[in-house]
Structure 1
């Protein structure tokens, strides 16, 4: 996954700030590098997959809230995703 392309897509798709898009893209890259999505779901984590899942979050959520919402869902269903959440104050 190309984090630069993901950052740009996140800014455009969700109206995110540069900082928020950068932090989410970095976490997404770390998640992709971990192989956990591939292991749990048998597909590669791509920018399209990230954006698709973030679109499912409540519309009023910020980009970081959307990311944490998705990661919270993954944590509940499979476990092991808490480490990829974005902590308060990181953005």
Structure 2
């Protein structure tokens, strides 16, 4: 388990799969480097946890992530692709 998943597990309730997908999106966001460009700071585990902690308490981990990314999208643009979305089951 990587550092983001461990920190999410320590900070918030949620399922392992939800933590995994948020951690994956956080890694993708870090790899894209747009936080550094837009905010002049490196995306760290602490940054992720701090910003998710600012979200309303009744939100899930994925909803907290999307809440933060929504704010970044509004402020800078270019963050929508990093939000967590569900896809309908296909049969």
User: Do they superpose with TM above 0.5?
Assistant: yes
Give the TM-score normalised by structure 1.
Answer: 0.92
Root-mean-square deviation (CA), in Å? 1.4
Task: Say which SS state the counterpart of residue 2 (structure 2) adopts.
Answer: helix
2:29 aligned residue (31, 34, 37): 31
Structure 1 position 52 matched with structure 2 position 50 = yes
Shift of 1:74: 0.3
SS at match of 1:30: helix
1:78 aligned to 76, 84, 89, which one? 76
Q: CA deviation at 1:69?
A: 0.4
Cα distance in 1 between the residues matched to 2:9 and 2:15: 6
Q: Which residue of 1 aligns with 2:2?
A: 4
Q: How many residues align?
A: 88
* TM superposition outliers: structure 1 runs of 4+ over 3 Å: none
> In structure 2, how many angstroms separate the alpha carbons of the residues matched to 1:49 and 1:82?
18
Larger radius of gyration: 2
Question: How far has the Cα of 1:88 moved from its partner?
Answer: 2.2
Q: Gapped runs of 5+ residues in structure 2?
A: none
Structure 1, unmatched stretches of 5+, are: none
* 16-25 or 81-90: bigger deviation: 81-90
Distance 2:41 2:74 in 1: 19
